[in-house]
Amino acid sequence: MFKILVVGLGGFFGSISRYLLSNLVFQLSGQHWFPLGTLTVNVLGCLTIGWLAGLAEVKAVFSEEVRLFLLVGFLGGFTTFSSFGHETVNLFRDSQNLFAMLNISLQIGLCLGAAWLGYHIANISL
């Protein structure tokens, strides 16, 4: 039961953080035609999960509860594949096919690249 609470608490804070950062990016960019907030959140989340997973694997620096809180709860609530899907469908629906394809390419390419980079940063720094 404690592990479930740890994941839930992490998800609570991750979701709030996603909402705040996404809105900040939206306000700072001043643009409404591309889901830059979701892209920012997902790339940052993938970089962070790669880095933390690398640290956890190589150094075993986190207890099981901390890993559950950070990797499953917080970063699971912080990143958002469902928003990516919804925003991409909306771009296609609005006949913004080029932006929809750009969103797909950037989300996949940058997020996988960020996760790989985070993992390697963790391994290099140890």
Residue 126 is predicted with a pLDDT of 61
Q: Which residue has the tokens 């640290």?
A: 55
CA dihedral 79, 85, 87, 91 (to 10 degrees): 150
pLDDT in tens, the chain (126 residues): 999 999 999 999 999 999 999 999 999 998 788 999 999 999 999 999 999 988 888 778 889 999 999 999 999 999 988 889 989 999 999 999 999 999 999 999 999 999 999 999 998 866
Residue 124 is predicted with a pLDDT of 86
d(CA 118, CA 76): 16
